[in-house]
Amino acid sequence: MFTGIITDLGRVRSVEGSGAKRLQIETAYNTADIAIGASVSCLGACLTVVEKGDGWLGFDVSQETGRCSTLGQLKIGDPVNLECAIRVGEELGGHMVTGHVDVVVSIQSIEEEQGSLKYNVAIPTGRLARLIAAKGSVTLDGVSLTVNDVSAEIFSVNIVPHTVRLTTFGERKAGDEINLEIDILARYLDRMTIGISE
């Protein structure tokens, strides 16, 4: 589990493979303290550390994960939001994040708004659309965010300068694709209200 509070902005060091891929990501983490087998959120996707070196971590990305997220599109030099799994007793600064990306969505536009940036993001199609609610939580590229407004086609989030500076949002632009994870509470409430027959 994660909180959606990004603790490092890494960079892709190498990419190997065509279907399933091996990613090496440069990081400011003390990799000596991160065990092989540990879970790390990479752009919102929970990946397992399979190799490491001084200043970098290696992960395997399955073909399914690459298909369902932007991880399959990463190139050398691309920025990657990183968060280590939460430990019992640590501060829960964002919301409960599983690291299971639901869908890739696109940034429709970015607006300046009273010192922060307002990102307007495309609503996903199908049943996921109804799970996004104003003042609810979403995870975008691993970042825990509060939904401002929701319409039939877009939802908006405000990102403060601190988050812009320390995450991939500092390099995002209109048209970019990002990973979306729906709030786990919304998912289970939806399941309870529609019944298990659907």
Domains of the chain: total: 2
Q: Is 142 within the bounds of a domain?
A: yes
pLDDT at 45: 98
- Whether the per-residue pLDDT at 146 is higher than 60: the answer is yes
**Of residues 162, 108, 170, 112, the one with CA closest to residue 141:** 170
Residue 122 lies in a domain: yes
What pLDDT, on the 0 to 100 scale, is given for residue 104?
A: 97
Average pLDDT, the chain: 92
Residues 75 and 16 in one domain: yes
Whether 109 and 174 share a structural domain: yes
Range of the domain at 16: 8-84
Instruction: Tell me how crowded residue 35 is: count the other CB atoms within 10 A of its CB.
Output: 9
Q: Helix (H, G, I), strand (E, B), or coil: what is residue 93? A: coil
Kindly state whether residues 173 and 124 are assigned to the same domain: yes
Q: Where is the domain boundary, 84, 111, 144?
A: 84
Domain boundary among 84, 114, 130: 84
Q: In the predicted model, is pLDDT for residue 196 greater than 60?
A: no
Beta-strand relationship, 8-16 and 79-84: antiparallel
Same domain, 116 and 188: yes
Q: What is the CATH number of the domain that holds 146?
A: 2.40.30.20
Do 71 and 108 share a domain, yes or no?
no
Residue 92 lies in a domain: no
Is 147 within a domain? Answer: yes
- Backbone φ/ψ region at 70: left (φ over 0), alpha (ψ -120 to 50), beta: alpha
Per DSSP, the residues of 150-179 read E-SSEEEEEE-HHHHHHSGGGT--TT-EEE
Predicted confidence (pLDDT) per residue in 25-48, tens digit = 999 999 999 999 999 999 999 999
58, pLDDT greater than 90: yes
Per-residue pLDDT at 90 exceeds 80? no
For the beta carbon of residue 100, count every other beta carbon within 10 angstroms: 16
Instruction: Determine the residue type at 87.
Output: R
DSSP H helical segments within 5-95, as ranges? 63-68
- Based on the fold, state whether residues 144 and 73 are members of the same structural domain: no
Mean pLDDT computed over 113-121: 94
Check whether 50 has a pLDDT greater than 90: yes
**pLDDT tens profile 161-194:** 999 999 999 999 999 999 999 988 777 777 777 6
Asked if 135 and 190 sit in the same domain, the reply is yes
